Every structure is written in C-alpha cells, then in structure tokens.
A = this chain, B = another copy of it.
Amino acid sequence: MTNERFTLAVIGGTGAEGGGLALRWAHAGHKVIIGSRQPEKAEEAAKQLNVLLGSDAIQGMESRAAVAAADIAVLAVPFAAQQATALGLAEVLAGKILVDVTVPLMPPKVSQVQLPASGSCVVDLQQALGDGVRVVSAFQNVSAHKLKDLNYQIACDVLVCANDKAARQSVIQLAGDAGLRGVDAGVLANSTVAESLTSVLIWINRTYKIPDAGISITGLPAV
C-alpha cells in the first residue's frame, strides 16, 4: 500500500480526541489544520500541539477556511453539535471526504446504548449532507487520553464504515498513520456497531475498573 499524504482539516481539534488524532497525523507527515469557529482558539490549539510535535507544522484556522484548504475533513465535536457544525460547512465539504468521529452519547446514561431512531447518527448526517459529501464513520471507540502520547501503543482497532470503497481505504490508511489498525467494516449503516460500542466500553471500564477498554477484531491476517 502506498501511503498518500493528505491535507486534513480537523474540526473539533481543540478537544482531546480531535487534537490527539491531529497530532498523530502531523507526526506521520500529513499537513494538518485545526478548525474552530473562533480562529484564535484554533491557533492556540495548534500551538499547543506543535509543542508536543516539536515543529510548527500544525496550523489553526476558522473552520470554513480549514475545510476549504483540505482534502479530507474530520469532525470530532460533541453529538449535540454534530449536525449543525457539519451543515454549516456543507458548501466547502462538497466533493470531499468527511470523517465523522461522533458518538451519540446521551448524558447522563453514557454507559447505556441510546442510538438515534435511524440507528446511526452518521447515517443521519450523510442524509442531511447529501451524496456530494462522502461521509466515513471511524475512531469512535478510541480512548482520547493516550492519543497525545505519540509513543503509546493504543490497543484498539478502528472500524471504518462508508458507502464509498475508496473513501474507506483512505480512512483505513489514516487509522494506520495514527498508529491504529483500521478495519474495513462495510457500508455506512454498519456504523451502528461503532456508535453503540462506546457505551459498552464505558460500562466495561466502570465495571472492571480499567482505564481504556477497546476492541480488537480477531481472525484477521497479520499485516
């Protein structure tokens, strides 16, 4: 597999999950732009990530400019902000891949599966955005707090779902570039698994008093 270099806009890169992925992708050689509604917040987040990275490679921009400059956009915002954020960027997302990391957690019962009526908030987003954006579901099950430790080997596979095979392949590559194993998990409707699994992992963390339950797909050939 030849590894492509992408320009990535990480919307919600001011948070732990988005910031950690941004850091790992920049470390792997991608051009990374943190996007936020407030450009000064994006710049501040980029600055802090650059300290960990040891370079000035990560930039910060207002979300629209970030997506406009990118090949692939990554949405890592809370569930409550998911649709509004993405729809506000619909124009600049046109023709691009949007990687949706959203987990539909419904506080306070976050260890109980409570999916939207359709069974998938990513499917809902794809319908809202229309076919002009290739939405990919990924990274919902990766615990955020170790992502910023570049040397930490996170024991969690990334289930990658999308209706477009080429888009799935690009995001499987991005999982690998973040030090994780991406697994082709099928069409976008299969995102139900990843979206519901996070609540089960939270339950398992609490029940077994462990910090970072994850999943591994067994039976796959070694890379």
Contacts and interface: CB of A to CB of B under 8 A. Distances in A.
A192 B190 contact: no
A216 interface: yes
Given A204-B183, A218-B156, A115 B111 contact: no
A155 to B, nearest CB: 4
A222 to B, nearest CB: 12
Interface centre among A184, A193, A214, by most B CB within 10 Å? A193
Interface residues of A, number: 41
A78 interface: no
Contact of A220 (B115, B199, B210): B210
Contacts of A65: none
Interface of A: 111-115, 117, 119, 155-156, 159, 183-187, 189-190, 192-193, 196-197, 199-201, 203-205, 207-208, 210-221
Given A204-B219, A211-B219, A215-B218, 19 more contacts: A112-B186, A112-B190, A113-B192, A155-B219, A159-B200, A185-B204, A186-B200, A190-B200, A192-B196, A193-B193, A193-B196, A193-B200, A210-B219, A213-B219, A214-B218, A214-B219, A215-B217, A216-B216, A216-B217
